[in-house]
Chains A and B, each alone.
Chain A
Amino acid sequence: AQKITQTQPGMFVQEKEAVTLDCTYDTSDPSYGLFWYKQPSSGEMIFLIYQGSYDQQNATEGRYSLNFQKARKSANLVISASQLGDSAMYFCAMVIKAAGNKLTFGGGTRVLVKP
């Protein structure tokens, strides 16, 4: 069965600095997708970025980039130029294509941006 691990329960980052959130995954399936979601204090789940296992380049979406290292089974999220509004919980998640659209989530990392 697939598993997602986020080893950083919480972290502080200074406003305008970059922050890297760690995510490692475990699956034997060759075809999968990795997601990052943001959950602010208001509770909604906001999609940030997606990386497919066969994508040749690392995904980027504005200030978000995904550092995908397939051999190491890691999919770290990098947030550049942190803003106060980036304070939230961040979840890494995975789908296995052969198993449909079922998401498996990690435990999350809480980020607090300091002014």
Chain B
Amino acid sequence: NAGVTQTPKFQVLKTGQSMTLQCAQDMNHEYMSWYRQDPGMGLRLIHYSVGAGITDQGEVPNGYNVSRSTTEDFPLRLLSAAPSQTSVYFCASSRVEGAEDTQYFGPGTRLTVL
């Protein structure tokens, strides 16, 4: 069972470079989201989507873009990386209805921006 997959696991960028973090799930979940975790802190929501073609901003959206063309995939784009974006990025998915559903997290992508 694949669940939620993320690629790459590790990435080093230089300031100003762009890249896309990939996230995919095979559970047919409508809801997908991106979080970042800075050292010693809890996760903070960047962007989320409640279905294909629908995205919205979370708590810390600046510097990131998302799109949702399919149910399975929810890529996160950094257009011009900054050192402040050095963090661990987690993708999560769940069904939409109710808060009873746990959210399934991917393994994370550790990003360093020099």
- The answer to whether A and B belong to the same complex is yes
Which residues on A are within 8 Å of B, measured CB to CB?
4, 31-33, 35, 37, 43-45, 47, 50, 52, 91, 93, 95-97, 100-108
Q: Which of A50, A103, A104 has the most CB of B within 10 A?
A: A103
Smallest CB gap from A102: residue in B: B45
Question: In the complex, are the beta carbons of A107 and B42 less than 8 A apart?
Answer: yes
Q: Which of B42, B103, B108 has the most CB of A within 10 A?
A: B42
* Interface residue from A31, A37, A43, A108 paired with B99 (Cβ < 8 Å): A31
Which residues on B are within 8 Å of A, measured CB to CB?
31, 33, 35, 40-45, 48, 50, 58, 88, 90, 92, 94, 96, 98-105, 107-108, 110
Chain A residues near B100 (CB-CB < 8 A): 33, 50, 52
Q: A32-B99, A50-B102, A101-B96 are in contact. Are A91 and B42 (CB under 8 A)?
A: yes
Q: A43-B108, A102-B33 are in contact. Are A91 and B43 (CB under 8 A)?
A: yes
Question: In the complex, are the beta carbons of A43 and B107 less than 8 A apart?
Answer: yes
Chain B residues near A31 (CB-CB < 8 A): 99
Question: In the complex, are the beta carbons of B108 and A44 less than 8 A apart?
Answer: yes
Q: List 9 A-B contacts (CB under 8 A).
A: A44-B107, A45-B105, A96-B99, A101-B99, A102-B45, A103-B33, A103-B35, A103-B45, A108-B41
Distance (Å) between the CB of B91 and the closest chain A CB? 11
Question: In the complex, are the beta carbons of A97 and B42 less than 8 A apart?
Answer: no
Return the 10 tightest CB-CB contacts between A and B, nearest first: A105-B42, A33-B99, A45-B105, A95-B99, A47-B102, A97-B99, A105-B43, A101-B31, A107-B42, A43-B108
Given contacts A100-B50, A101-B99, 4 further A-B contacts (CB under 8 A): A32-B99, A101-B48, A102-B45, A107-B40
